[in-house]
Chain A
Amino acid sequence: MTALLQTKELTKQFAKDDVATVALRDFTLSIEEGSFVTVLGRSGCGKSTMLNLLAGLTEPSAGEVRYRDRRLTGPDTEIGYLTQSDTLMPWRGVLRNVEMPLEIRGVPAAERREVAAALVERVGLGGFGDHYPRELSGGMRRRASLARTLAGNPSTLLMDEPFGALDAQLRRELQEELLALVQDGGQTVVFVTHDIEEAILLGDRVVVLGGLGRILLDHPIELPRPRSADELRVDPVFVALHTELARTLKEAAR
C-alpha cells in the first residue's frame, strides 16, 4: 500500500504573549490509502491539533503534512473533516446545508439538489430536508454533518470524536452506518476517539497518542469484518487488545 497522508516531524505551538504552548511535537505518521485508522488518546494529547493540521486548517510551526506526495498548504476538497462540534449553518435547512460544498464548487443547482437529496436519504434523514438544524436532535445533526462532509466527495475523511456527545445506543448505530458508508465509498479514514471500544470496533489500525502527540503504540487490528460490538466483547483477540490499549493509556497518564 502507498502512503496517502503523511506527516513529517510536525510541531505545533500556540503563542500567547511571550510564552508558547506546545500542543504537538515531532509528530510523524503515515496513513495508507484505503485504510481506516483510529487514533486513541486522552483529552489534551493533541488529537484535535493533529486533525486540524491534517485538514490544512492551521499551519504547522515546523515540519510538514504531505497529501498524495505534495505539501499541504491549506484546506483541500479531497479531504473531508467532520469536526467535534456541529458547524451546520443554522440559517439553512438540512438539504441546503448538505449541498453547500457543491454550491461552492459551482455545481448547477438542479444537480447539487439531487446529490444532496440522495445523501440526506442515505444518512436516514429523508423527510427532514427542510428542517433547520435547531429543529433536529443531536444525532440527526451529526447525520446531517456527515452527509455534508460526504457531499464534497472527499477521498479522505478526518473525524474528530464525531459521536462523542451521543448516547451509547445512538453511537453504536451511527458507527455501523459509518462503516457501511465507508465500505461503499472506499475512503481513507482517520478517526480520533477517546473510547477504546470504538477504536477497536472501527479501525484497521489503532494509534495510541501520549502527551504532545507522542506515538505510544501503533497496532493493526486483525479482527474479521463485519464486526458486531456484542460478539466482539467476548472475542479473546478483542479482549487482549482492549487490555493492552487500556494499559498503554494508563501509562501515558504517568
Chain B
Amino acid sequence: MNTAEGVVAPAGTESGPVRVAVPRTWWQRHGTTATVWSLRLTLVVAVLALWEVAADRWVDITFISKPSDIVERLAEWAGDGTLWLHSWITVQEIVYGFLLGAAAGALAGFVLASLSLVYRVLDPFVMALYSIPKVALAPLFIVWFGIGMHMKVLLAAATVFFLVFLNTAAGVRDVDRGLVDAVRLMGGNRWHVARKVVVPASMTGVLTGLKVAIPYALIGAVIGELVASNRGLGYLINDAAAQFDTAGVFATLVVLSIIAAALNLVVGLIDKRVNRWKPIDD
C-alpha cells in the first residue's frame, strides 16, 4: 500500500508491487463514463420524443397516453397532495416491511443455522414456504389482517424474511472451521466464537440477503396494494386504470421507478460496504 515513502517494509518483504503515478487527461479519466451517460440521455430523449409524436397520431392515446400528459398529471397530483399522500404510504410499507422481515430473517438465520439438528429438520419446510409465490398469500393476509397497512407490511416482510434468512443461514454454515478453531485455541467459549467469528464471517451473506431483498420489499408492498387497498401507489394505479386514465397509470409508474431507483442506490451503498474486506483466498 503505502510502502513508497515513510513506511519501511520489514526485511524479506521488499519484493511487493511497485506503484507509480500515471498522468491522464480529463478525457482518459472520464471519457467512457461521459460517453455512456450522454448516450443514455440521448436514448431517453429519443424515446420520449417518439412517444409524444406517436401518441394520437399512430396509436390511440387511450392506450399509451403521452409524455406531456403524464408530466401534467404528475404536476397536478403534486399540487393537490395526492402524490405525496400515496407515495408516503407505500414508502412506509416498504421500509417497515423490509425492517421487520430483515430483522426476523437475520435472527432466525443465525439461530437456526447454529443449531445443526434443528436446521436439518426444518430445512425442507422452509424451502417449501419459500417457494410459495407470496402473491398467493395476499388473500389469506387480508382475512387475517384486514386491508389496512398491516397487510402490506407483512406481505413485504414475508418476502424479505426468506431471502435474508436463507442468505444468513448459508453465511453461518460457510464459516471457516479454521477461524473457529483459532478462537477456541485462544480460550474462547461458544459465545466468543459466535460474536467474534460467526457474526462477522456471515456478514457477507447477511448483506447479500439484504441487498437482494430490497426490491422485493417494494414488490410485496405494491402487490398488496393492488390486491386490496384504499391508499398507496398500487391503489392509485388501480384507481386510474379503472377510469381509463392511462396518464394517471403511467404517472404512478414513474413515481414507482423513482422509488425503485432510490432503493437501488441504497443497494449500491451496501455493496460497497460488503466489498470493504474480502476473504484471503480471493
Binding site for B on A (CB under 8 A): 55, 57, 74-77, 79-81, 83, 85-91, 100-101, 103-105, 124-128, 131-135, 137, 139-141, 143, 152, 169-170, 173-174
List of B residues within 8 angstroms of A169 by Cβ: 12
How distant is the Cα of A81 from the Cα of B282 in the complex, in angstroms? 25
List of A residues within 8 angstroms of B7 by Cβ: 127-128
Residue from A81, A86, A134, A170 within 8 A of B277 (CB atoms): A134
**Interchain CB contact under 8 A, A133 and B280:** yes
Closest chain B residue to A173, Cβ basis = B12
**Interchain CB contact under 8 A, A77 and B277:** no
**Interchain CB contact under 8 A, B12 and A104:** no
Which B residues from 260 to 282 make CB contacts under 8 A with A?
Answer: 277-280, 282
Residue from B8, B11, B185 within 8 A of A55 (CB atoms): B185
Which B residues from 165 to 222 make CB contacts under 8 A with A?
Answer: 176, 178-179, 181-188, 192, 196-197, 200-201, 203
How distant is the Cα of A3 from the Cα of B178 in the complex, in angstroms? 29
**Interchain CB contact under 8 A, B11 and A173:** yes
Which residue, of A100, A104, A105, has the highest number of chain B Cβ atoms within 10 A? A104
**Interchain CB contact under 8 A, A87 and B1:** no
**Interchain CB contact under 8 A, B187 and A140:** no
**Interchain CB contact under 8 A, B181 and A87:** yes
**Interchain CB contact under 8 A, B11 and A131:** no
**Interchain CB contact under 8 A, A134 and B186:** no
Is B13 located at the chain interface by the 8 A CB criterion?
yes
**Interchain CB contact under 8 A, A104 and B278:** no
Given A87-B179, A91-B200, A104-B196, residue A170 in contact with residue B12 (CB < 8 A): yes
Closest chain B residue to A140, Cβ basis = B13
**Interchain CB contact under 8 A, B282 and A75:** no
**Interchain CB contact under 8 A, A57 and B181:** yes
List of A residues within 8 angstroms of B186 by Cβ: 75, 77, 100-101, 104-105, 152
Is B23 located at the chain interface by the 8 A CB criterion?
no
How distant is the Cα of A137 from the Cα of B16 in the complex, in angstroms? 8
Is B79 located at the chain interface by the 8 A CB criterion?
no
Is B81 located at the chain interface by the 8 A CB criterion?
no
Which residue, of A125, A131, A137, A174, has the highest number of chain B Cβ atoms within 10 A? A137
**Interchain CB contact under 8 A, B185 and A80:** yes
**Interchain CB contact under 8 A, A101 and B187:** yes
List of A residues within 8 angstroms of B196 by Cβ: 89, 100, 103-104
